[in-house]
């Protein structure tokens, strides 16, 4: 299993003001699966992604990613985990404005493989940005910026890719292109992809759809015949 | 309280660390202003009150036809009183100590109409007193004299025992200076006693008074009258004449007052500029971060004026919180400083007043500085387009390689974190500029204070170690021949003795200047002479060496002639050159030259001596004091030692300034760096999310901040040096030559100290990285 959640609770606040963002969630996500997590605002989908990404702590329960139990890891251990195991794609790209596309990716590859300029360039080429290596974020379109962010996430070849509303800031056409790219890397690299969105239509391209409401999984559906991203409409 | 007021207070509470830094800077600036300005006002008022209460002379004339001068002065409208008296420098003996003191004649039974004294202990002189004197307060304190104590004075008939009838302080000796050329004295070398006028004439050995002192109606200065009287004094052969401003004690005090005045302007200005910058950076960041909130406010009907005043509030509140207690603390501190100062100087009349204007001005300065700093960001806030602000997409700056990368393309091969740091410097040029300015201002503050200390240490070293080579001066009871001086070499413990003739002199060129002419043996080993270029030069046999200030005063150059008047005898003398001496503006000549000019053999009034290696000073001194012809003994080290003792005040001053400078540097750099870190929390959170370790991020941010601080260091050193030079130049006069000297180690230590402060000021921000809510920040819309 790539990801395994056993009775995972995440609670913010205490006593009467306590809010259960996740309330005893159980889920098993096999390696190489493209999973879409759906749900309205406040349903706990981003919390789940953050817990899997190791940028937040579970309150109780066990959470395994690639056989590593994240519960009780120290801050340094979580940092090492994030470096080796997961890649993030954010809604707002979160690129560093003073670095070029190549340098934004190289920043991550330099962490994991010393000077990773070649790897960074190769990944950017892979996402279709071979001509934009020396462009700064401000010179790129939203779609291009998100592709840089995906390249940054892919560059260290993480077994798990976590995408939080990756099309939220993009127009329809660009959004489909990004989804297509994510699906392609999922297939080519056999990476496990977890994609959080409130856009139910995107669920049609996933191998599996988890629907959350009020911190609990209310639907766990497998798509026998997922459609291609280019066929999506919303 | 409106909701906006709540928002204002809660925002301040949320960013309390930065606000506290600003408040502390404003507090320090206003405290310094109020403390130094009120001290200045209190001291100036105390001196003025003393001058009026004790009828301090507006004009003084010594030597020449003083009686004729007094007759003329009495006829002048505006003159209230004229006194004639006898003043002379004579040997005094207290315990085993012989020193060259001063006797001042006073009318018995009643205070004089000019230059009165305050009786601190005992009683004023009575007509029946033939062997009673008033001891000047500094002398009494030093030698523990009280009514009933005794001392000896050397008169024409030998040593005469005198009783102390009282202890007195005088407006003439608030700062106990012997003359304008000897402003620095030690209590072991100079003391003043007031005796009945007739006794003074006997002791000094004159037939009548030798000094006239004039007091104007109500003591009010009248420049035209002063010019007229000084001209009259010059025409009547005065050897020394001066207006109140130039009276030695008053001139020294004026320099001191000037110091407080400088302090009251220069240092507070630095602090308030720093506080203003920190406020600007802080509110600028706040406005940037609150763009969506501002958009919502405007969209909901708040006027631009309301938004403007709301953001001005972020300046007004720290301004008031810092300025009000700062002004109060300053006023209280001024009372302490004035009390301590006037007591230390024995100022006869001390006035410590409450000046509401200082309080108000202090608050106003603090408030104005912070409001001025807030205006820019507040205006920006009020001009924001609501729709754009609520969308949250701030205009993205175009990224580009840094200037240094463009100049040195190979830098683009540096590791990415280093490139990031380099570009971060240019990312927000205004913030970088303010950080640099913060470093510059802090270094300026430190260097001006430390430069003052270094200059004074250097000045003392130059005067007492490099220039004056004697170990002691021996004064004779009367003029002696060179053989008598050479005989001193026979005294055990004395290696060398040289004869010296010191006499008051008037030099006339384009203007006239009263000074002291000191005559040494040609090739003297007791005094070294340094030219303007700093190079040593010998004492010439073909002319005078004059203190550098005389070049401008007399309007003469090397090779020109000046008129030289000594005790009414006038002659032409050649100017051989000018010398650079820190204390006073004296004239020097070789015995050979003066004997050639006057056509007679010169006696000696004193001898400069040097001890044998390993000689026991006290024994040599005791041996000399016992000798018949020796009237006084002046240890060259006594003044130096006294000065060294007073250096503790300078160290204290510099220590306080370093603390203040450090606090200011911390507040400024902390503000700039907190904002620097706050502006990139999103990047930091992203870096943490992708697995970058905290220490790697801290290193990157530190590298960037330190590069900015390092950039400010040479600028700060340069600017600080110039400011220190300017500050020292403002004290420059014919009394002191304050050539700025800053030790290289001072520059290095100051620079390192500021770098350490910069490093420390990052700490709270870097520590906050550990507490970032990564999940929340990476999800936020970029601003």
pLDDT for B392 equals: 54
Q: Which of B297, B186, B240 is nearest to B60 (CA)?
A: B240
Average pLDDT estimate for B412-429 = 82
- The reply to whether residue B775 touches residue A100, judged by beta carbons under 8 angstroms, is no
Residue B767 and residue B745: Cα distance in Å, rounded?
Answer: 33
Contact B93, B182 (CB under 8 A): no
Give just the sign of the alpha carbon dihedral B502, B503, B504, B506. negative
CATH superfamily of A3-231: P-loop containing nucleotide triphosphate hydrolases (3.40.50.300)
Question: Residue B376 is encoded by which pair of tokens?
Answer: 């820019």
Backbone phi and psi for residue B208, each to the nearest 5 degrees, phi listed first: -155, -175
For the ranges A91-100, B314-323, B553-562, the lowest mean pLDDT is seen at A91-100
Q: What is the pLDDT of residues B361-397, one digit of tens each?
A: 999 999 999 999 999 999 999 998 887 777 655 445 5
The H or E element containing residue B18 is helix B16-53
Q: What is the pLDDT of residues B1-31, one digit of tens each?
A: 777 888 888 989 888 888 898 898 899 889 9
Residue B214 and residue B221: Cα distance in Å, rounded?
Answer: 11
Q: Which of B600, B465, B587 is nearest to B519 (CA)?
A: B587
CB contacts, 8 Å: B420 with chain A: 96, 98-99, 103, 107
Strand bridging mode A68-69 / A86-89: unpaired
Residue B193: pLDDT band (50, 70, 90) is very high
Contact B620, B491 (CB under 8 A): yes
Average pLDDT estimate for B736-761 = 90
B568 has pLDDT over 80: no
Alpha-carbon distance values, B244 to B212, B216, B220, B377, B559 (Å)? 13, 11, 11, 53, 34
- The 10 Å Cβ neighbour count of residue B695 is 12
SS3 of chain B: helix, strand, coil, percent, to 5? 55, 20, 25
Portion of chain B with pLDDT greater than 90, in percent: 43
pLDDT for B120 equals: 93
pLDDT for B710 equals: 92
pLDDT for B430 equals: 78
Residue from the list B398, B694, B696 with its beta carbon closest to the beta carbon of A138: B398
B202 has pLDDT over 80: yes
Region of residue B739 (phi > 0: left; psi between -120 and 50: alpha; otherwise: beta)? beta
- The reply to whether residue A55 touches residue B415, judged by beta carbons under 8 angstroms, is no
- For residues B543 and B690, the model is more confident at B543
Q: Which of B530, B47, B67 is nearest to B244 (CA)?
A: B47
CB contacts, 8 Å: A90 with chain B: 686, 778-779
Question: Residue B64 is encoded by which pair of tokens?
Answer: 């020449």
Residue A227 and residue A202: Cα distance in Å, rounded?
Answer: 10
**Min distance A82 CA to chain B CA atoms (Å):** 5
A49 to chain B: nearest residue by CA? B775
Residue B664 and residue B445: Cα distance in Å, rounded?
Answer: 9
Residue whose entry in the numeric block shows the structure tokens 């091969």: B413
How many Cβ pairs closer than 8 A exist between chain A and B? 104
For the ranges A167-181, B189-203, B350-364, B388-402, the lowest mean pLDDT is seen at B388-402
Average pLDDT estimate for B141-165 = 92
Provide the 8-state DSSP code for B468: B
Residue B14 burial by CB count (10 A; 0-12/13-18/19+): exposed, middle or buried?
exposed
- The reply to whether residue A111 touches residue B397, judged by beta carbons under 8 angstroms, is no
Residue B250 and residue B172: Cα distance in Å, rounded?
Answer: 7
The H or E element containing residue B529 is strand B529-530
DSSP A158-194: -SEEEEESTTTTS-HHHHHHHHHHHHHHHHHH--EEE
Q: Which residues pair with B547 in a beta bridge?
A: B579
Backbone phi and psi for residue B288, each to the nearest 5 degrees, phi listed first: -60, -45
Alpha-carbon distance values, B706 to B21, B134, B431, B567 (Å)? 20, 64, 14, 67
B297 has pLDDT over 60: yes
**Min distance B397 CA to chain A CA atoms (Å):** 7
Residue B449 and residue B653: Cα distance in Å, rounded?
Answer: 8
> Taking all residues of chain B, what is their mean pLDDT, rounded to a whole number?
88
**Min distance A190 CA to chain B CA atoms (Å):** 20
Q: 3-class DSSP state for residue B407? A: helix
pLDDT for B781 equals: 62
A91 has pLDDT over 50: yes
Question: Residue B706 is encoded by which pair of tokens?
Answer: 């330190």
CB contacts, 8 Å: A100 with chain B: 399
Q: Which of B660, B669, B682, B744 is nearest to B710 (CA)?
A: B669
Q: 3-class DSSP state for residue B733? A: coil
pLDDT for B395 equals: 43
**Min distance B337 CA to chain A CA atoms (Å):** 53
Radius of gyration of chain A (CA): 17
pLDDT for B467 equals: 94
For the ranges A111-115, B48-52, B277-281, B605-609, the lowest mean pLDDT is seen at A111-115
CATH 2.40.70 holds for B482-602: yes
Radius of gyration of chain B (CA): 33
- The 10 Å Cβ neighbour count of residue B559 is 10
Residue whose entry in the numeric block shows the structure tokens 């701030």: B394
Q: 3-class DSSP state for residue B119? A: strand
Question: Residue B714 is encoded by which pair of tokens?
Answer: 């040479």
- The 10 Å Cβ neighbour count of residue B525 is 13
Residue from the list A47, A97, A103 with its beta carbon closest to the beta carbon of B397: A97
Contact B536, B580 (CB under 8 A): no
B774 contact A CB<8A:
yes
Q: Please tell me the number of Cα atoms within 13 Å of B293 on its side-chain side.
A: 12
pLDDT for B692 equals: 85
Backbone phi and psi for residue B640, each to the nearest 5 degrees, phi listed first: -60, -45
pLDDT for B547 equals: 92
Backbone phi and psi for residue A205, each to the nearest 5 degrees, phi listed first: -95, -5
B104 has pLDDT over 70: yes
Residue B506 and residue B504: Cα distance in Å, rounded?
Answer: 7
- The reply to whether residue B686 touches residue A80, judged by beta carbons under 8 angstroms, is no
Q: 3-class DSSP state for residue B192? A: strand
Contact B46, B350 (CB under 8 A): yes
Q: Which residues of A touch B (CB under 8 A)?
A: 46-47, 50, 53, 55-56, 75-76, 79-84, 87-88, 90-94, 96-100, 103, 106-108, 110-112, 115, 136-139, 152-153, 156, 164
Domain locations along chain B: 1-56+261-395, 57-84+208-246, 87-207, 428-469+637-783, 482-602
Residue B180 burial by CB count (10 A; 0-12/13-18/19+): exposed, middle or buried?
buried
B420 contact A CB<8A:
yes
Q: Which of A10, A6, A50 is nearest to A26 (CA)?
A: A6
- For residues A172 and B182, the model is more confident at A172
Backbone phi and psi for residue B179, each to the nearest 5 degrees, phi listed first: -160, -175
Q: What is the pLDDT of residues B463-492, one digit of tens each?
A: 889 999 999 999 887 788 888 888 888 888
- The reply to whether residue A111 touches residue B419, judged by beta carbons under 8 angstroms, is no
CB contacts, 8 Å: B417 with chain A: 107, 110
> CA A29, A34, A36, A37: dihedral to nearest 10 degrees?
20
Question: Residue B712 is encoded by which pair of tokens?
Answer: 């400010």
Average pLDDT estimate for B393-417 = 76
Q: Please tell me the number of Cα atoms within 13 Å of B31 on its side-chain side.
A: 17
Strand bridging mode A86-89 / A160-164: parallel
Contact B693, B699 (CB under 8 A): no
CATH, domain B57-84+208-246, list 3.30.70.100, 3.40.50.1980, 3.40.50.2300, 3.30.365.10: 3.30.70.100
Residue A114: pLDDT band (50, 70, 90) is low
Residue from the list B423, B691, B780 with its beta carbon closest to the beta carbon of A79: B691
User: Angle at CA B709, nearest 5°, toward B708 and B715?
Assistant: 100
Residue B277: pLDDT band (50, 70, 90) is confident
Residue B153: pLDDT band (50, 70, 90) is very high
Chain B, residues 421-440, CB within 8 A of chain A, namely: 423-424, 427
Average pLDDT estimate for B236-244 = 91
The H or E element containing residue B143 is helix B137-143
- For residues B751 and B418, the model is more confident at B751
Contact B159, B168 (CB under 8 A): no
Question: Residue A2 is encoded by which pair of tokens?
Answer: 């790539």
- The reply to whether residue B416 touches residue A99, judged by beta carbons under 8 angstroms, is yes
Give the total residue count for chain B: 783
Q: Distance between the two ends of chain B, CA-based, in angstroms?
A: 30
pLDDT for B690 equals: 83
- The reply to whether residue B692 touches residue A111, judged by beta carbons under 8 angstroms, is yes
Average pLDDT estimate for B401-419 = 85
Residue B216 and residue B221: Cα distance in Å, rounded?
Answer: 7
Residue B651 burial by CB count (10 A; 0-12/13-18/19+): exposed, middle or buried?
exposed
For the ranges A46-60, B39-53, B623-637, the lowest mean pLDDT is seen at B623-637
- The reply to whether residue B775 touches residue A82, judged by beta carbons under 8 angstroms, is no
SS3 of chain A: helix, strand, coil, percent, to 5? 40, 25, 35
Contact B580, B539 (CB under 8 A): no
Give just the sign of the alpha carbon dihedral B278, B284, B287, B288. negative
B752 has pLDDT over 70: yes
pLDDT for B252 equals: 86
pLDDT for B394 equals: 47
B79 has pLDDT over 90: yes
- For residues B690 and A8, the model is more confident at A8
Residue B456: pLDDT band (50, 70, 90) is confident
Contact A163, A182 (CB under 8 A): yes
Q: Which of B160, B110, B172 is nearest to B136 (CA)?
A: B172
């Amino acid at each position: 299993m790539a990801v395994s959640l056993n009775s995972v609770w995440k609670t913010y606040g205490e006593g009467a003001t306590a809010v259960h963002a996740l309330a005893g969630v159980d889920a098993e996500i096999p390696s190489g699966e493209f999973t879409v997590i759906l749900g309205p605002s406040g349903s706990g989908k981003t919390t789940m992604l953050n817990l899997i990404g190791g940028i937040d702590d579970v309150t109780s329960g066990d959470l395994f990613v690639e056989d590593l139990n994240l519960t009780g890891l120290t801050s340094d251990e979580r940092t090492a985990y994030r470096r080796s195991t997961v890649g993030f794609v954010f809604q707002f790209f979160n690129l560093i404005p003073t670095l070029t596309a190549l340098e934004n990716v190289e920043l991550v590859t330099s962490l994991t493989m010393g000077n990773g300029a070649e790897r960074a360039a190769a990944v950017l080429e892979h996402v279709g940005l071979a001509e934009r290596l020396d462009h700064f974020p401000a010179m790129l379109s939203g779609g291009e910026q998100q592709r840089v962010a995906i390249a940054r996430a892919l560059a260290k070849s993480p077994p798990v890719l976590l995408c939080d509303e990756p099309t939220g800031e993009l127009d329809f056409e660009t959004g489909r292109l990004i989804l297509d790219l994510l699906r392609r890397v999922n297939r080519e690299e056999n990476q496990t992809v977890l994609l959080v969105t409130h856009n139910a239509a995107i669920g049609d391209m996933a191998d599996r759809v988890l629907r959350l409401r009020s911190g609990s999984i209310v639907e766990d559906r497998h798509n026998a015949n997922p459609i291609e991203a280019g066929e999506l409409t919303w | 309280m409106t909701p906006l007021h709540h928002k204002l207070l809660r925002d301040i509470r949320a960013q309390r660390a930065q606000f506290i830094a600003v408040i502390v800077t404003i507090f320090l600036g206003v405290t310094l202003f109020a403390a130094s300005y009120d001290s200045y006002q209190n001291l100036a008022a105390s001196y003025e009150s003393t001058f009026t209460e004790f009828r301090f002379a507006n004009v003084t004339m010594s030597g020449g036809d003083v009686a004729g001068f007094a007759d003329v002065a009495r006829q002048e409208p505006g003159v209230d009183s004229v006194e004639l008296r006898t003043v002379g420098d004579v040997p005094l003996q207290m315990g085993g100590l012989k020193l060259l003191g001063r006797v001042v004649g006073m009318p018995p039974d009643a205070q004089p109409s000019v230059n009165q004294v305050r009786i601190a202990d005992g009683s004023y002189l009575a007509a029946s007193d033939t062997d009673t004197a008033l001891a000047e307060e500094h002398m009494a304190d030093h030698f523990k004299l009280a009514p009933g104590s005794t001392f000896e004075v050397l008169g024409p008939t030998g040593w005469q025992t005198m009783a102390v009838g009282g202890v007195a302080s005088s407006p003439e000796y608030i700062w106990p200076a012997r003359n304008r050329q000897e402003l620095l004295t030690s209590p072991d070398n100079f003391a003043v006693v007031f005796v009945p006028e007739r006794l003074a004439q006997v002791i000094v050995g004159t037939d009548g008074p030798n000094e006239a002192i004039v007091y104007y109606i109500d003591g009010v200065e009248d420049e035209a009258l002063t010019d007229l009287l000084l001209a009259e004094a010059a025409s009547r052969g005065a050897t020394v004449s001066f207006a109140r401003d130039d009276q030695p004690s008053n001139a020294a005090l004026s320099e001191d007052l000037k110091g407080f005045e400088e302090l009251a302007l220069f240092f507070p200005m630095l602090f308030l500029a720093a506080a203003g910058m920190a406020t600007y950076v802080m509110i600028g960041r706040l406005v940037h971060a609150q763009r969506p909130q501002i958009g919502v406010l405007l969209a909901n009907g708040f006027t631009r004026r309301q938004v403007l005043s709301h953001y001005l509030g972020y300046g007004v509140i720290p301004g008031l919180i810092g300025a009000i207690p700062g002004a109060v603390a300053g006023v209280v501190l001024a009372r302490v400083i004035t009390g301590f100062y006037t007591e230390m100087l024995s100022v006869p009349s001390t006035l410590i007043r409450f000046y509401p204007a200082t309080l108000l001005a202090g608050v106003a300065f603090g408030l104005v500085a912070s409001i001025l700093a807030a205006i820019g960001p507040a205006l920006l806030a009020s001009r924001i387009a609501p729709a754009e602000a609520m969308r949250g997409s701030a205009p993205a700056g175009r990224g580009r390689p840094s200037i240094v990368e463009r100049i040195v393309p190979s830098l683009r091969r540096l590791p990415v974190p280093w490139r990031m740091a380099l570009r971060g410097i240019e990312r927000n040029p205004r913030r970088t500029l303010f950080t640099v300015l913060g470093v510059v201002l802090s270094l300026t503050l430190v260097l001006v204070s430390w430069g003052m200390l270094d200059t004074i240490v250097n000045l003392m070293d130059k005067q007492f170690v490099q220039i004056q080579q004697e170990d002691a001066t021996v004064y004779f009871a009367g003029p002696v021949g060179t053989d008598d001086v050479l005989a001193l070499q026979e005294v055990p413990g004395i290696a060398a003795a040289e004869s010296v003739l010191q006499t008051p002199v008037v030099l006339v060129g384009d203007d006239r200047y009263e000074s002291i002419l000191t005559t040494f043996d040609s090739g003297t080993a007791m005094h070294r002479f340094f030219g303007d270029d700093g190079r040593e030069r010998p004492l010439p046999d073909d002319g005078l060496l004059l203190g550098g200030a005389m070049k401008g005063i007399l309007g003469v150059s090397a090779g020109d002639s000046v008129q030289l008047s000594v005790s009414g005898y006038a002659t032409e003398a050649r100017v051989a050159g000018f010398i650079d001496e820190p204390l006073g503006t004296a004239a020097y000549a070789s015995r050979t030259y003066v004997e050639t000019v006057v056509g007679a053999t010169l006696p000696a009034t004193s001898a400069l001596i040097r001890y044998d290696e390993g000689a026991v000073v006290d024994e040599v001194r005791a041996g000399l004091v016992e000798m018949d012809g020796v009237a006084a003994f002046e240890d060259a080290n006594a003044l130096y030692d006294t000065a060294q003792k007073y250096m503790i005040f300078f160290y204290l001053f510099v220590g306080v300034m370093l603390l203040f400078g450090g606090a200011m540097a911390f507040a400024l750099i902390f503000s700039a760096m907190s904002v620097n870190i706050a502006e990139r929390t999103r990047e930091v959170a992203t870096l943490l999310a992708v697995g970058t370790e905290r220490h790697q991020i801290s290193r990157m941010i530190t590298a960037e901040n330190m590069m900015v601080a390092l950039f400010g260091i040479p600028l700060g050193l340069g600017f600080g040096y110039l400011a220190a030079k300017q500050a020292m130049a403002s004290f420059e006069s014919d009394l002191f030559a304050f050539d700025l000297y800053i030790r290289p180690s001072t520059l290095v230590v100051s620079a390192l100290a500021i770098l350490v402060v910069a490093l420390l000021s990052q700490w709270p921000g870097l520590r906050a990285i550990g507490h970032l809510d990564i999940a929340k920040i990476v999800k936020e819309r970029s601003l």
